[in-house]
């Protein structure tokens, strides 16, 4: 099991609010980079969904809610956004300082660049183009708390008092000999049939059976995004929290019943229709 992560976030960002945020240890939102708007998170049958615009660039915004550092192993379409490997919990991730946050805007290409996340048709997604189309349409964030540093303090040990066993009487010696002859080693307890460990394997990201999404994440143009290396020791091997957000086009979310079809919009009223108002209010005609 790997305990060190390489990439750390340098700068915090200005957040657009947590009205549509998902998560307990951290607020996770999806941002439309072209419009700057936060994509609404729709809760449907135990899952969160967002509607993406085909062709739009997007970002995964993560805001650490704790007063300690937090590691976020992040995946898109079942692919680690840092290494491009098939995503797993024990891989590298972004490290967030206390109360800090960051927008992950693309596939990490170097310490200075990413390839932008873009909503695209599923066959054109990075995962499908690299032969891994099974989990297209899901964003995953596995959060790990940090193990506190160990502080070693040598214990103070007092010298024990010398022990002197009192002499046994003739009656005590006879009783001890009788007890020793009756003592036998107890056999170990037999394991009950079908006994199992109380720990169960946690489900992997994307393991729930869901409809195949028609929108995926492409490998867009290069953008500047600077990070640097750091060390991080996890508090435990399994994540302290796993956040999953699924996405698809608005049309597909409406077809699946996740989002209601918008009704007709009322006509727009102009509060200042006149371009050259008079100095005072005139009388009405007639």
For the chain, first and last CA: distance in Å? 88
Record the tokens describing residue 33, joined without a space: 């980079």
pLDDT-derived band at 274, boundaries 50, 70, 90: confident
Domain region containing 113: 7-148+211-246
Cα 140 to chain center, whole Å?
6
pLDDT at 203: 33
Q: Is 62 a member of any domain?
A: yes
The pTM of the full predicted model, rounded to 2 decimals, is 0.68
H-helix or E-strand spanning residue 255 = helix 250-255
Question: In this predicted structure, which of 11-15, 62-66, 146-150, 273-277 has the lowest mean pLDDT?
Answer: 11-15
pLDDT at 16: 43
C-alpha dihedral sign at 166, 172, 178, 184: negative
pLDDT at 286: 73
pLDDT-derived band at 162, boundaries 50, 70, 90: low
Phi-psi region of 120 (alpha: psi -120 to 50; beta: other; left: phi over 0): beta
**What percentage of the chain carries pLDDT values higher than 70?**
71
Flag whether pLDDT at 161 surpasses 70.
Answer: no
Does residue 268 or residue 59 have the better pLDDT? 59
Q: Is 269 a member of any domain?
A: no
pLDDT at 174: 57
Q: Is 60 a member of any domain?
A: yes
Q: Is 180 helix (H, G, I), strand (E, B) or coil?
A: helix
pLDDT at 159: 63
Contact by Cβ (8 Å): 111, 227: yes
What is the count of structural domains for the chain? 1
Q: Is 51 a member of any domain?
A: yes
pLDDT at 182: 41
Q: Is 53 a member of any domain?
A: yes
Residues 6+ apart with CB under 8 A from 216: 77, 119, 120, 121, 122, 123, 124, 125, 126, 127, 128, 133, 136, 137
pLDDT at 185: 40
Mean pLDDT over 62-72 rounds to 96
Highest mean pLDDT among 190-199, 205-214, 248-257: 248-257
The alpha helices in 35-185, defined as continuous H runs, are 126-129, 170-182
Flag whether pLDDT at 66 surpasses 80.
Answer: yes
Tens digit of pLDDT for each residue in 103-116? Answer: 999 999 999 999 99
Contact by Cβ (8 Å): 50, 32: no
Q: Is 81 a member of any domain?
A: yes
By the 10 Å C-beta count (0-12 exposed, 13-18 middle, 19+ buried), 119 is classed as buried
Q: How many helices (H) and strands (E) does the chain have?
A: 3, 15
pLDDT-derived band at 260, boundaries 50, 70, 90: confident
Flag whether pLDDT at 248 surpasses 90.
Answer: yes
Q: Is 168 a member of any domain?
A: no
**What percentage of the chain carries pLDDT values higher than 90?**
60
Cα separation of 26 and 72, whole Å? Answer: 9
Share the mean pLDDT of the chain. 80
Record the tokens describing residue 58, joined without a space: 């997007």
Q: Is 164 a member of any domain?
A: no
Contact by Cβ (8 Å): 115, 58: no
Flag whether pLDDT at 3 surpasses 50.
Answer: no
**Beta strands 101-104 and 57-64, pairing class:** antiparallel
């Amino acid at each position: 099991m790997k305990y060190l992560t390489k990439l750390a976030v340098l700068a915090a960002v200005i957040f657009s609010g947590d009205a549509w945020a998902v998560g307990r240890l951290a607020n996770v939102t999806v941002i439309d980079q072209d419009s700057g708007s936060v994509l609404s998170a729709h809760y449907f049958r135990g899952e969160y969904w967002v509607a993406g615009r085909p062709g739009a660039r997007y970002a995964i915004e993560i805001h650490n809610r704790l007063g300690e550092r937090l590691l976020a192993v992040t995946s898109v379409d079942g692919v680690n956004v840092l290494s491009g490997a098939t995503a797993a919990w024990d891989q590298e991730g972004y490290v967030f300082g206390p109360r800090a946050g960051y927008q992950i805007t693309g596939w990490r290409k170097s310490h200075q660049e990413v390839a932008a996340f873009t909503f695209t048709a599923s066959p054109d997604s990075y995962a499908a183009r690299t032969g891994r189309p099974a989990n297209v349409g899901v964003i995953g964030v596995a959060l790990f708390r940090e193990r506190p540093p160990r502080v070693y303090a040598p214990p103070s040990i007092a010298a024990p008092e010398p022990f002197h066993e009192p002499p046994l009487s003739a009656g005590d010696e006879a009783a001890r000999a009788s007890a020793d002859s009756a003592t036998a080693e107890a056999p170990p307890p037999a394991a009950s049939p079908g006994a199992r460990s109380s720990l169960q394997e946690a489900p992997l990201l994307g393991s729930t059976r869901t409809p195949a999404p028609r929108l995926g994440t492409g490998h867009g143009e290069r953008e500047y995004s600077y990070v640097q290396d750091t060390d991080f020791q996890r508090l435990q091997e399994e994540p302290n929290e796993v956040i999953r957000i699924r996405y698809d086009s608005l049309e597909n979310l409406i077809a699946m019943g996740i989002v209601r079809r918008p009704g007709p919009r009322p006509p727009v009223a102009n509060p200042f229709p006149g371009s050259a108002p008079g100095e005072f209010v005139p009388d009405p005609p007639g």
